[in-house]
Amino acid sequence: MKEQLNSIQQKALDEIKNAVDIKTVDDLKVRLLGKKGELTAILKQMGQLSAEERPVIGQLANQVRECIENDIGRKKEQLKALETERKLKKETLDVTLPGRKLEQGRRHPLNIVLDDLKEIFKGMGYSVVDGPEVEKTEYVFDMLNTDEGHPARDPSDTFYITDKIILRTQTSSVQIRTMLANKPPIAVISPGRVYRNDEMDATHSPIFHQCEGLVVDKNITFSDLKGTIEVFAKRLYGNDIKIRFRPHHFPFTEPSAEADFRCFKCGGKGCPLCKGEGWIEMLGCGVVHPQVLLNCGIDPEIYSGFAFGMGLERVAMMRYGIDNMRLLYENDLRFLKQF
């Protein structure tokens, strides 16, 4: 048995010396010293020895185990050091190589236009307010004087979550929240994302962005609204911009109007973008309906106001000469790099 132990030790030392990776060393340890290893198998035969031989062989077995374990430990440290050295050589950075140019990001055209709108209206004394996109029908429809039979409340136009909760179709709900929480005078804009059950085409999208405005104070008239729209349009598009107001109907304003801007693509001659009319509908507006003021606890005998709402996509399209709204959502870098 003594010869067997010496043989195992010598064979183990040779195999450990020739091992080329840590996995081989770990496999050797299991084969030699594991529960079913060669050394363990010999130790199980200790019962066959005499009482005088057992302590001698036992001491030798422990020395063999300790020798093999120490050699395995040293070998693993050597192999780890070699592996680290190989990685360092492989991952060495050549500081003489030219640097890689990092692509600089740009603001999206919608964000550019929104920032400009905020600056324009803040300059006129407005504050910027925000509200939830998942909204109560009470704030989107009921308090805005939009009754149950109105087409805007139909599921073909609006995304319903429950009968009382929807994805907001307009940021007018933020105006309601503002009037409920604040006393006049009020002058706010409420930009944000809105949702309509529309098919995607050159001028429509089921998800788009609005910027609505609200002013409530004493002696506010339609003339104040008209002057505000003209100031905004000239600041954004230049003094040559042409605007027209058409009578319209909205349940939350009276009187109401649509504001059209001269078509940027054809200059008013008529083209597919403006459907041959020479004008593009840019925003809806009007004097706040007295019932809407009453719904929010504001006395219409003392206060009046005006409201307007525009789609940011159309504002951006007209400003930059974009003739297809889908370009704003396709994330094509060739398009976005122009801004």
pLDDT in tens, 43-101: 666 666 666 676 766 677 778 778 888 888 888 888 888 888 888 778 777 778 788 88
pLDDT: which is higher, 136 or 12? 136
**Nearest-angstrom CA–CA distance, 46 and 336:** 82
* pLDDT tens per residue across span 156-195: 889 999 999 999 999 999 999 999 999 999 999 999 999 9
Is 202 buried (19+), middle (13-18) or exposed (0-12) by CB count in 10 A?
Answer: middle
Is the pLDDT reported for residue 201 higher than 90?
Answer: no
Residue 255's pLDDT is what? 95
Is the pLDDT reported for residue 326 higher than 70?
Answer: yes
Residue 1: pLDDT band with limits 50, 70, 90: low
Residue 138's pLDDT is what? 95
**Nearest-angstrom CA–CA distance, 122 and 124:** 5
Beta strands in the chain (DSSP E): 127-128, 134-136, 165-167, 186-195, 207-217, 243-250, 253-262, 279-288, 304-311
